[in-house]
Amino acid sequence: MSDASNVNGIPRSVDVDPDTPVLWVLRDVLGMTGTKFGCGLGLCGACTIHLDGKPVRSCITPISVAALLIAGAIAEVLASPIPPGGSALPRSV
């Protein structure tokens, strides 16, 4: 499948299998490692991205479905930096 869309405002084009999860397109094909792999089941939220302003679990969303969801809209990859001295994991209270 060849798809062209905007990722973080930059036009991108990829040629991958339609069943490839968006996570692996972002990380392996586009080199955008800010999106993380967590549970692989879409439960933990580590792989969350925004497609046309809506949160989507990229580890379970095939690129073909994402292309239908955004239909040329902008995909935003969420990558929040870890604060100095902070942790990527939330602390329990």
For residue 39, being part of any structural domain is answered with yes
Is residue 83 one of the residues assigned to a domain?
A: no
Task: Give the domain range for residue 28.
Answer: 2-76
Give CA–CA dist 63/82, Å, rounded.
Answer: 28
Gap between the Cα atoms of 79 and 73, Å rounded: 19
Contact present, 49 and 27 (Cβ < 8 Å):
no
Return the higher-pLDDT residue of 47 and 91. Answer: 47
| Spatial distance between the Cα atoms of 90 and 86, rounded to a whole number of angstroms | 9
- The answer to whether residue 91 sits within a structural domain is no
Q: How confident is the model at residue 23 (pLDDT cuts 50, 70, 90)?
A: very high
**DSSP reduced 3-state for 4:** strand
Q: Is the pLDDT of residue 83 over 70?
A: no
Question: Is 92 domain-assigned?
Answer: no
Q: Are 58 and 35 in contact (CB under 8 A)?
A: yes
To the question of pTM greater than 0.75 for the whole model, the response is no
Return the structure tokens found at 63.
């690129």
The total of structural domains in the chain comes to: 1
Whether 86 maps to a domain, the answer reads no
The answer to the question of residue 33 being in a domain is: yes
Query: What confidence tens digit (pLDDT) does each residue in 25-42 have?
Result: 989 988 888 889 999 999
CATH of the domain at 40: 3.10.20.30
